[in-house]
Structure 1
Amino acid sequence: MGIKCDVLSLHVTEIRLENMNISGRIDADSLCKLPSLQFLSLAINHITGDIPESMSNCLGLTYLNLSSNMLNGKVPASMESLKNLRSFDISNNNLTGYIPHFKQEIELVYHNTMISGMSVNETDPAIKASDDKIRDNVNQPKAPTLAWSITILTLVLLITFFSLFIFFTDKKNPKVAEVKESKKCVHESSARNYTTGTEDDIEKGGKVQDLVFFGERQEKFTMDDLLTSAADLQGRNIYSSLYKIRLKNSSIFVVKRLKNLHVSGDDFKQKVMRIGNLKHPNLLPLVACHSSDHDKLLIYRYQNSGSLSSLFSSYVERKVDIPWKKRLSIMSGIARGLDYIARELDEDCAPHGNLKPSNVLLGETEEPLISEFGILNLLYGKRALLYSSYGYRAPEKELTKKADVFSFGVILLELLTGKIVEKSGINLPGWVKSMVREEWTAEVFDAEVNRVGKQWAFPLLNVALKCVSYLPEHRPDISEVLEKIEHVVNSEEDHSISSPSSVESDQQDHMVVPKTSETPGN
């Protein structure tokens, strides 16, 4: 638990050991032997000692969180050699001295420490030259007081003349006055913007708008309400931060703050409008958004039932059961939601891009609600995927509808086999294909499926294996997948299947066996 690796290269990429009562010192020498380590969080533990100099050898780190420990001493200046580091949190420690002189843009958090801030790198030529210049200026004789007075008086007269010229020009030009009045009205009314917004409502001329709401149900809160409410950080990376916020009226929302976007302001507005206007029973609706020059926020309602990922975790730990009927409901619900957004969004806006159990929430009646759809498209544009959901990511690593079908196929296999990718790190498509090759197909299903739904699980396994085909052109469209799943659901409800034996016999004739031309283990 807490360790993630690339199942293809078998390299550790992420270590997250937060709030686990860990004590001792940081063994940086061992950590830095992991060549693919990018994410390291040891927050909220009892770690003592200093930050080792050898931590600077972890060159692949992009995120480092050592907050809320008992670290002391100084932060090593050699840490500035971590050129890939984008987030560094050492808050709530006993550290002293200065933060190293990082040359890249980085998110630094060091409150509740005795650190004074950014150190000065005296070897930096630009800084040294600046210091020399300051010292030279100090040693120069002061200019005569009369000369300085004349210069200042001249500047004041010029500024006054220019201001009067602009004032009288604006008075004579009614169009300019009208524009200024319009801008004033927009600014004054921004805090009262509670209606469903248009594209221009999201951001006007770089001015901060309050909140633009989507949907028929109008929430009654403002940005000030969000900023003054209790907020718990749920997760953070170099592209976004996620907060759970409880308003004073006890309503709970989730706020996703986006950063390092790779789309223009206009593209952001257009794509958020498309996302906000999507309405379906199996999509987590976007409640509101906020956009300014500095902040891009997406706001959703908090779901008390958690996510499919948390349900899987409880199932693996034998805390809950996932009945066959519930599995069918989850399969068909996700497929309906994906089919809807695939039909509603054009090719320029990926249907999802990051489908995995943690991005499927469960509603009040435990219906699946797909979240995060379209978000990856805002972060990466049309570039190849960089996210770390290796177990669910399609081999081609692209933002396409067929890539979403692959991710959904992995979730189908999880529901059928009871093997959870996020917990085991297993290459689930590869394992299932190998079982089918060896004619052990019936052995892939978990106990619950074998007990209740085995006779209907064979056609669903057939669909799932097609979804996880290595080549995108071999995968079905999501509409075809939905049709197959609904056929199984309706067949079970109508009791139209005569006997389990006839179903198994039929599936042996149609079972998908991985082609030898496809890459093994995918």
Structure 2
Amino acid sequence: MASPLFLLLFFLLSSLPGGAPDLASDRSALLAFRAAVGRLVLRWNDSATPCSWMGVSCEAGRVTVLRLPAVGLIGQIPVGTVGNLTALRTLSLRFNALSGSLPSDFAESSQLRNLYLQGNRFSGEIPASLFSLQKLIRLNLAGNNFSGNISPEFNNLTRLGTLYLESNRLSGEIPELNLPNLVQFNVSFNQLNGSIPSKLRNMPAEAFLKTGLCGGPLGPCPGEIAPSPAAEGPASGAAEAEHKKKKLSGGAIAGIAIGAAAGVLIILILVVFLCRKRRSGAGKTRSLEAVVVSGKPPETPAAAAVGRDKGAGEGANGKGAAAAAAVAAKGEAAGKKLVFFGSGGGPFDLEDLLRASAEVLGKGTFGTAYKAVLEMGTTVAVKRLKDVNIPDKEFREKIEAVGAMDHPNLVPLRAYYYSKDEKLLVYDYMPMGSLSALLHGNRGSGRTPLNWETRSGIALAAAHGIEYIHSTGPSASHGNIKSSNILLTKTYEARVSDHGLAHLVGQTSTPTRVAGYRAPEVTDARKVSQKADVYSFGVLLLELLTGKAPAQALLNDEGVDLPRWVQSVVREEWTAEVFDLELLRYQNVEEEMVQLLQLAIDCAAQYPDKRPTISEVVVRIEEIRRSSVDAADRGQHQDPQSIDDGDDRSSRRNDSIEGSKPTGSEN
């Protein structure tokens, strides 16, 4: 009798509430939520699984997403509803008529990453239960009636990247917030006062409008610029008294005068010397005849800056393009000349190149590039190759194949020069520089943000150029795709450069993995497959979307390369933080950004057979750009600052990428 009784008791106890949570308990919580605030508007089919209900998404047999924005919910959320959805990761109840205080059992939803409650009528203090949600990444409580102070317990939310509290009734001072991942913040239109904390002073002024705050972007608080005169009085008075006590002797005064005169004289001599040296240097930059003698290229201040940014070219200790040409022309290779592609000769020769003024553009994988301005006014880019040790005939065959390539998205090779010691390539000059400089250059206040249309257009143009290269033969590849080899015209049209050069140089001339772009299967820089090109292009897409350079050795302090870092962030459902902040300004194209991110992950798959072809990549980018244009035609443009309304599209980014299980992602 004992055994059947025990089984009966076990069955009864296991059926009571409070057992292990499952989909049935989630269903009960959702039905209680509907009965309290959505009885008239939520037409859920009681006989169907809750995973099929409007606004509900499930994973692994649990409800993980509840999105019910602007559906007409009204009333107060009771305890035992949302709090019982313990696997919930995203909750969006924005723009409804929910009121009262937030339920105290919110802390039970410990997996919450994204919480959007803006545009309701919630009141009371921000509940302490929120501060235990340590996985929270985006929190939007804007446009409610919350009151009281901003609690320092927000510091518990160490992963928080977005915090919107604007348009409430919050008062008092902002506490010192130490949130290392915070990138979006707004407390405008509250009754706040005092000084903006130091770690929030990098936020824009729009984050603090219509408050009583001061400091940072709002201008200094009273007394912040200079210390109080009262504080200076005693010190200055003491100094004056000390001065009166100690009077200098006549000899001391004479010594000081003589020393000062000698110092002035020395300074004048140094100024004259430096000015003469500068004029002498300026003469060298105007004429390259001196370069032939010295073997050193001229380096203008602009060129010097470029050289430093690029890791320094050969401006200080190598031959310039013109010098190399001159040595070749006047040395053992006399009688040779520039070979131009197409019929007939070119508009200039080696002597013209010798007389050109030049500046270092940068040092790349295959050599140093120079900007050369000829006397006739023509500007060209000259690349002086290094580590090219192949016979004359083989060099000419390979370089002529490159010169024969004709596509609007390739930088055209106009001419070349070959001798035993010097190999020069002459290209059209691209005035806007490289994509790398555009992405990672000046990020200060004077920078113009690189918008979605420009970035996606660059991606498509570069893909077209690579597609053309691949179309020239089944084994044809670029071999060195990276952002510094994507050059830009004045209208930001992309041109692929350095194509074909990987097949000219030795295996040891290219560093392993080319600072994050090299496909894992590539061991010889001269033997790069088309699928390896696709991998490199995938990294380039990630660079465009994240604004991060693959060469950064310690991304996210984990020492992983860019593709693995992005995949890890996506798995952690922090996808909104993947994108460059300049892109987050353009909210109407977030879905397109997600689609391009997915394509980039596909391209950077670990195994070659999992990657798409470059032709498939072109088709997908074209579709993505068409959808963004269609959205614009439907009048969905929004002010860039509208990202502040905290739309839950960021969590849709997480779902669309995670749900697709990107090919090639590593566990």
2:562 matched residue in structure 1: 428
1:248, distance to aligned residue in structure 2 (A): 0.8
Aligned counterpart for 1:374 among listed residues 471, 492, 500? 500
Percent identity over paired residues: 37
Secondary structure at 2:359's aligned position in 1? Answer: strand
1:317, distance to aligned residue in structure 2 (A): 4.0
- State the distance in 2 between where 1:264 and 1:512 align: 49
1:424, distance to aligned residue in structure 2 (A): 6.7
Deviations, residues 420-461 of structure 1 (Å, cap 9, x unaligned): 334675322111110122233333223333332211111111
**For residues 468 and 505 of structure 1, do their structure 2 counterparts lie closer, same or farther at Cα, with a shift above 3 Å needed?**
closer
Deviations, residues 436-490 of structure 1 (Å, cap 9, x unaligned): 2223333322333333221111111111001111222221111111111111111
1:307, distance to aligned residue in structure 2 (A): 0.9
- State the distance in 2 between where 1:258 and 1:352 align: 17
- State the distance in 2 between where 1:304 and 1:263 align: 32
Equivalent position amino acid for 1:368 in 2: A
Unpaired runs of at least 5, structure 2: 1-296, 299-312, 321-328, 556-560, 637-647
1:262, distance to aligned residue in structure 2 (A): 4.1
Alignment of 1:414 with 2:414, yes or no, is: no
Alignment of 1:402 with 2:528, yes or no, is: no
- State the distance in 2 between where 1:244 and 1:505 align: 45
- State the distance in 1 between where 2:536 and 2:437 align: 18
- State the distance in 2 between where 1:208 and 1:272 align: 20
**For residues 407 and 208 of structure 1, do their structure 2 counterparts lie closer, same or farther at Cα, with a shift above 3 Å needed?**
farther
**For residues 458 and 290 of structure 1, do their structure 2 counterparts lie closer, same or farther at Cα, with a shift above 3 Å needed?**
same
1:515, distance to aligned residue in structure 2 (A): 5.5
1:508, distance to aligned residue in structure 2 (A): 4.9
2:470 matched residue in structure 1: 342
2:457 matched residue in structure 1: 329
**For residues 210 and 313 of structure 1, do their structure 2 counterparts lie closer, same or farther at Cα, with a shift above 3 Å needed?**
same
**For residues 226 and 466 of structure 1, do their structure 2 counterparts lie closer, same or farther at Cα, with a shift above 3 Å needed?**
same
1:330, distance to aligned residue in structure 2 (A): 0.8
**For residues 280 and 265 of structure 1, do their structure 2 counterparts lie closer, same or farther at Cα, with a shift above 3 Å needed?**
same
**For residues 495 and 217 of structure 1, do their structure 2 counterparts lie closer, same or farther at Cα, with a shift above 3 Å needed?**
farther
- State the distance in 1 between where 2:622 and 2:478 align: 22
Alignment of 1:225 with 2:352, yes or no, is: yes
- State the distance in 1 between where 2:314 and 2:400 align: 34
1:367, distance to aligned residue in structure 2 (A): 0.4
Larger radius of gyration: 2
Deviations, residues 182-223 of structure 1 (Å, cap 9, x unaligned): xxxxxxxxx9xxxxxxxxxxxxxx985312222589741011
In terms of mean alpha carbon deviation, does 405-414 or 313-322 score higher?
A: 313-322
Secondary structure at 1:328's aligned position in 2? Answer: helix
Aligned counterpart for 1:361 among listed residues 466, 471, 487? 487
Alignment of 1:252 with 2:379, yes or no, is: yes
- State the distance in 2 between where 1:415 and 1:304 align: 20
Query: Structure 2 matches for 1:157-196, cutoff 5 A?
Result: none
- State the distance in 2 between where 1:393 and 1:443 align: 25
1:293, distance to aligned residue in structure 2 (A): 3.3
Alignment of 1:272 with 2:399, yes or no, is: yes
**For residues 387 and 264 of structure 1, do their structure 2 counterparts lie closer, same or farther at Cα, with a shift above 3 Å needed?**
farther
Is contact 1:315–1:321 with CA below 8 Å preserved after alignment? no
Unpaired runs of at least 5, structure 1: 1-66, 69-87, 93-106, 110-190, 192-205
Equivalent position amino acid for 1:507 in 2: S
**For residues 431 and 267 of structure 1, do their structure 2 counterparts lie closer, same or farther at Cα, with a shift above 3 Å needed?**
same
- State the distance in 2 between where 1:208 and 1:429 align: 51
Deviations, residues 360-379 of structure 1 (Å, cap 9, x unaligned): 11112110111111112100
Deviations, residues 77-123 of structure 1 (Å, cap 9, x unaligned): xxxxxxxxxxx99979xxxxxxxxxxxxxx899xxxxxxxxxxxxxx
Is contact 1:208–1:291 with CA below 8 Å preserved after alignment? no
2:23 matched residue in structure 1: none
- State the distance in 2 between where 1:484 and 1:296 align: 39
- State the distance in 1 between where 2:533 and 2:565 align: 20
Deviations, residues 131-156 of structure 1 (Å, cap 9, x unaligned): xxxxxxxxxxxxxxxxxxxxxxxxxx
Is contact 1:287–1:300 with CA below 8 Å preserved after alignment? yes
**For residues 89 and 432 of structure 1, do their structure 2 counterparts lie closer, same or farther at Cα, with a shift above 3 Å needed?**
closer
Query: Structure 2 matches for 1:99-138, cutoff 5 A?
Result: none
1:240 matched residue in structure 2: 367
Q: Which has the higher contact order (CA 8 A, sep 6+)?
A: 1
1:438 matched residue in structure 2: 572
Query: Structure 2 matches for 1:501-512, cutoff 5 A?
Result: 507-508=656-657, 511-512=660-661
> What TM-score do the two structures reach when normalised by structure 2?
0.43
- State the distance in 2 between where 1:411 and 1:420 align: 9
2:600 matched residue in structure 1: 464
1:390 matched residue in structure 2: 515
- State the distance in 1 between where 2:438 and 2:315 align: 33
1:308, distance to aligned residue in structure 2 (A): 0.6
- State the distance in 2 between where 1:232 and 1:257 align: 13
Is contact 1:242–1:255 with CA below 8 Å preserved after alignment? yes
> What TM-score do the two structures reach when normalised by structure 1?
0.54
1:311 matched residue in structure 2: 438
Equivalent position amino acid for 2:425 in 1: L
**For residues 352 and 108 of structure 1, do their structure 2 counterparts lie closer, same or farther at Cα, with a shift above 3 Å needed?**
closer
2:415 matched residue in structure 1: 288
